[in-house]
Amino acid sequence: MVQFESWASFFAMGGHGLYVWLAYGATFLVLAISYLSVRGARKRLQQELSWLSGEGGGATQEEETKL
């Protein structure tokens, strides 16, 4: 059952709101960044390689996908 009476007390978290939301925010932010960076790298690769497949030859710019 729900632990909090109102949305206000939910956000206040009994006084520890700052820390709880800081921890959750950081976690989901980091997960989101990690997901987006991987998806971005894939998109960049797709453009590079599909552009090249038209060319049929030559090496892509060899770069290790970082984060």
Partner 1 sequence: MSFTSSIKTLWHKLGSPRWFYQMSGPWVIGFGIAALVLLGVGAVWALGFAPPDYQQGNSFRIMYVHVPAAMVAQSIYMSMGVAGLVLFVWRMKLADVAIAACLPLGMVLTALALFSGGVWGKPTWGTWWEWDGRTVSTLVLLFLFIGIYALREAIEDAGLKARASALVAMIGTINIPIIKYSVEWWHTLHQPASFTLTEKPAMPPEMYLPLLVMVLGMYAFAGHNIISRMRNQILVRESRTHWVREAMATGG
- Give the footprint of partner 1 on this chain (CB under 8 A): 1-4, 10, 13-17, 19-20, 22-24, 26-28, 30-31, 34-35, 38-39, 41-42, 45-46, 48-50, 52-54, 56, 59-60, 62-67
Report which of 29, 39, 27, 26 is spatially closest to residue 67, judged by C-alpha positions.
39
We find the least distance from the C-beta atom of residue 50 to partner 1, in angstroms, to be: 4
DSSP characters over 36-61: HHHHHHHHHHHHHHHHHHHH--S---
We find the least distance from the C-beta atom of residue 8 to partner 1, in angstroms, to be: 14
